[in-house]
Each structure stands twice: as structure tokens, then as C-alpha cells.
Amino acid sequence: MDQFSSNPSVALEKTVDSSKTPTATNSADIDRVYELDRCIEWIKTNEYKNVCLQFPDYLLSDSSEIAFRLQKRLGQVVYIMGDSAYESCCVDYITARHVNADAIIHFGPRCLSTWTNLIPCLCIYDKNPIDTDLFKNLFTKKFNDNENIKIDIILDTPYIHLNDVVVELFSDNINVTVNSIDANRFNVETTLLYIGKNDRKLLNFRLKHKNIPNLYYYDPQENDPLIKNYEENSMILKRRRYLVEKIKESETFAIVIATVVIENYMKAMERIKELLKLNGKKYYIISVGRPTVAKLANFPEMDMYILICCSMSDIFESRDFYKPFVTPFDIEIALNPKAVPSDFSYDLNADYLEEDLDKTIEHKPDVSLITGNLRYKENLEDNSGSSKEIALRSDGTVAVSDKSGAGFFATRSFKGLEQKLGQTQVKLATDGRKGIPQQYENELY
């Protein structure tokens, strides 16, 4: 039955991330932790009437208490939204539209992507503690040998509330500046010290700011926190190079829309479509909400999936899917001769989306680095048409060469329910069985 449902071993073998377990906040701390005074002032100032509160799963235990306190002080109903249909770090406009919301308060972590402004949104971040004495001692030991080094401390979202504390901590050091990660203004000529986890956000930060000479990170939540030098995972870039070659080998792609929040997602999709057309590739556009193995298994004709999603999604490294995922920038590197491979980024707000495409891409023969075979595309202009008919002189039959992606669906052996219009005898409606499934009236026991 695995052909028609998810493999049961996936659920049994799934590794659950327990780093953020649901824990109820102390009742006396809720107003401070969730900045309820700030939320109320924002709602009243802008006269919002339908407000949604978006929580990630690990904060849902506090959601009802927060909603109760806001409703009591505002005198109006607020709506609780669970985790997003896509990524919890992105605001969920789709769910908010169900109640015609005019404002959203997003609690918890957020990504570095630029959101569209469909609905006004206020972000309330997590508030993690820092042992300031330990951090100052570790900082002094790490950088005391070079007093002239300029260091820019970058606070991740859970530590932004401690900005003033960290500024005061280094008030006697003129070479140290403090910024928050959402400020998006950093001096790339200085050494950067990132306060937060060594996770995908730090990877995206490093890819986005490639000119940084030195990048360190400090995770206060570790059992034995230390200031460490950030080292890029070379396996990620090696896999990206392999996938670039696979793109050149592949013919049919699925453009999977897994976000409607990121500002440039439509621009990225149009650019991908244009590149695929210029290179004689076929494509589908698929929107299935959060991508899962079972959903995408319905499209076995695809050679690869092009995922347009938040940069924080870890699905790119998943090996559970039947076909590999690639990023929009992978497509750019593989199919655009003018692309610079060193500029790789998961971010849809990258500068390459603004560059003009060369409509006259010259396709030269090359050798596949995977198979070693000669790879050459010819007559791309002829193949770009909708369909061509070729008459065979021997027996007079006609072969139709369908170059559109939808041609694959017509050749499937299983088409689902068939209407058989005009083939079924029309009958009048008759009484059916009565009762409940446990026992119908016509069944005797």
C-alpha cells in the first residue's frame, strides 16, 4: 500500500526536534515576555479590529492566556492561529484571510526574508537569557590579544531584547559595536560575532554576506558555551554543484510554490520559467502547501523539483523525497551562462533577480560531469512549440510530438474516476439503505 500512502517507516523513523519543547510561561511573566503593552498600543493606535495572533507550535501553550488578556484589555475578539501552512518563521497571510484579518501579531522566530505587505504585521521575538559575565570573560580571552580589531556584535532575534544590556557591557570598548540581525546593516570590513544558534539562519547569513573576513558565533543556550569560529559546511556546496549538473541533464521540472509571503516569489517564478524556456525544458507549476513525500509522489514524471520557499526551510537537504530539490539560484547557475557560481544564496531577495536575462543563450556541446556523455541541445526553437505532427509515409499514421508538460498526464495508465458520459444508463433516484453503519435496517443479526 506504500504506492498510495506514505511509507509507515517514515513516521516510525522520523527524528523529532525536541530543542524547542512546549513550556508554559510563568503567569507573572507573560505581559513582559510577550510585550502585551506594546501589542495593545499598536492595535489601538492603528484602530485594528480583526487581529490574528500567530504562534509556532512550542508557544501554543501560552496562546489562550495571551488572547484572554488582550481581549479583556481591548474589549474585542482576537484570533489564535497555529503554526503556518509553510514555515513558522513566516507570517501566515492565508489563514488570516479566513477571518478577514486587518492585522497580525507574529510571535516567535522569524527569517531573514523580506515579506510582502499584504497585511500589517507586528513581530514579537523570543526572549532568551545571556550570562553577561561569562560572555564578557570569553570575549576578553578571545579578542584581547588584538586590541585594534573592530568587532560588530550581531544579535539574533531571541537576544534583541538585550541590545541595551550588551551595549552597556562594552561601553568601555570603542572598537565594539552592537547591531540586531533584523537591522540588516553590517560593516563587512569588520569581524562579526553572531549571538545565536549555529543553524540554518547563520548559514544564510554567511551566504548573504560573503565578504565578511571573519565570522564567529556564540550560542548562550549551549551547555558549555564558547566563542567559536564559523566554518562553512563544504558538503552543502558540493551537493549544490552536483545538483547543477543534474539540472543540465534533466528535461522536466516541477516549480513548487511553497510560499506566498516572500516579496519576490513571483519574480523568482517568472525568471525560472523564462530560463527553462530558453533552454528547451518542460515544467509544471505546483502549489501543494507544505511539501511532503506523499504529495509530490503524485508527480512521478518530474526529473527535479524547483522549490520556491523561505530560506529557512531545511527541505533542500532532505533525502526522503523521490526526486531532488533545487533552489532558484541552482537553476540560475545551471542555465544562465552569465551567472556567478560563488554568489549562491537561498534568499529570494538576492540581487540576481534584478539582472536582465540574455535572450540569445548560445548552446554549445559539453560533457556531463555525471555520466561522461556528450550533451548537446539542438533545434530549441522548433521544440519550443506546443505540438508538431509528423506523417509517416509507410502506413499513413500520424505521430504527435507534444512538447507541453501536460502531455505526460495523458499517457498515465491510471486516470482516477471516469465519468463515461453517454455510456451509462440514466436511472431514477431510489431509496437507499437506512440506519447507521453499525447496523442498517436491511441487515439481520
Q: Residue 333 sits in a domain of what CATH number? A: 3.40.50.11860
Report pLDDT digits (tens) over 82-115: 866 677 888 888 889 889 999 999 999 888 788 8
The verdict on 294 and 339 lying in the same domain is yes
Helix residue ranges, H only, 170-227: 200-208
199 within a domain of the structure (yes/no): yes
Contact 367, 373 (CB under 8 A): yes
120 within a domain of the structure (yes/no): yes
Terminal CA-CA length for the chain: 33
The verdict on 241 and 367 lying in the same domain is yes
Q: Which residues contact 411 (CB under 8 A, 6 or more apart)?
A: none
Q: Assign residue 224 the CATH number of its domain.
A: 3.40.50
The verdict on 104 and 201 lying in the same domain is no
The verdict on 186 and 241 lying in the same domain is no
The phi and psi torsions of 135 (rounded to 5 degrees) equal -65, -45
The verdict on 179 and 296 lying in the same domain is no
Per-residue pLDDT of the chain (445 residues; tens, 9 = 90+): 444 444 454 444 444 455 566 778 889 999 999 999 999 999 999 999 999 999 998 899 999 999 999 999 999 999 999 866 677 888 888 889 889 999 999 999 888 788 888 899 999 999 999 999 999 999 999 887 667 788 999 999 999 999 999 999 999 888 889 998 877 666 767 889 999 998 888 888 888 777 788 899 999 999 899 999 988 777 877 888 889 999 998 999 999 988 888 888 888 899 999 999 988 899 999 888 788 888 888 888 889 999 988 888 878 777 888 899 998 888 988 888 887 766 677 777 667 777 777 777 666 777 777 777 777 665 454 444 434 444 444 444 444 444 445 566 666 666 556 777 778 888 888 888 777 777 777 666 5
Burial level of 362, CB count in 10 A (0-12/13-18/19+)? exposed
Report pLDDT digits (tens) over 315-374: 877 788 889 999 888 898 888 888 776 667 777 766 777 777 777 766 677 777 777 777
> What's the number of domains the chain is made of?
3
385 within a domain of the structure (yes/no): no
The verdict on 60 and 39 lying in the same domain is yes
441 within a domain of the structure (yes/no): no
The verdict on 149 and 224 lying in the same domain is yes
The verdict on 156 and 50 lying in the same domain is no
The verdict on 55 and 25 lying in the same domain is yes
Domain boundary among 375, 397, 422: 375
417 within a domain of the structure (yes/no): no
**What H or E segment, with its residue span, contains residue 245?**
helix 234-249
For the chain, the maximum distance between any two Cα atoms, rounded to a whole number of angstroms, is: 93
Using the CB atoms, write b or e for 251-268: b if 16+ within 10 Å.
ebbbbbbbbbbbebbeeb
The verdict on 68 and 98 lying in the same domain is yes
Using CA atoms, how far apart are residues 396 and 432, in angstroms rounded to an integer? 53
164 within a domain of the structure (yes/no): yes
Alpha-carbon separation of residue 59 from 33, 78, 88, 97, 160 (angstroms): 12, 17, 11, 22, 18
Using the CB atoms, write b or e for 297-324: b if 16+ within 10 Å.
bebebbbbbbbbbbbbbebbeeeeeebb
Using CA atoms, how far apart are residues 354 and 221, in angstroms rounded to an integer? 39
Cell of 280: 528547451
Using the CB atoms, write b or e for 2-11: b if 16+ within 10 Å.
eeeeeeeeee
The verdict on 103 and 141 lying in the same domain is no
Query: 160 is in which domain, residue-wise?
Result: 132-229
419 within a domain of the structure (yes/no): no
Domain boundary among 375, 406, 431: 375
The verdict on 33 and 67 lying in the same domain is yes
Q: Assign residue 50 the CATH number of its domain.
A: 3.40.50.11840
Using CA atoms, how far apart are residues 95 and 60, in angstroms rounded to an integer? 16
352 within a domain of the structure (yes/no): yes
Contact 238, 287 (CB under 8 A): no
Domain boundary among 349, 375, 401: 375
| Cα within 13 Å of Cα(176), Cβ side | 21
Using CA atoms, how far apart are residues 412 and 5, in angstroms rounded to an integer? 19
Cell of 170: 562594552
Using CA atoms, how far apart are residues 115 and 260, in angstroms rounded to an integer? 9
Q: Read off the pTM.
A: 0.76
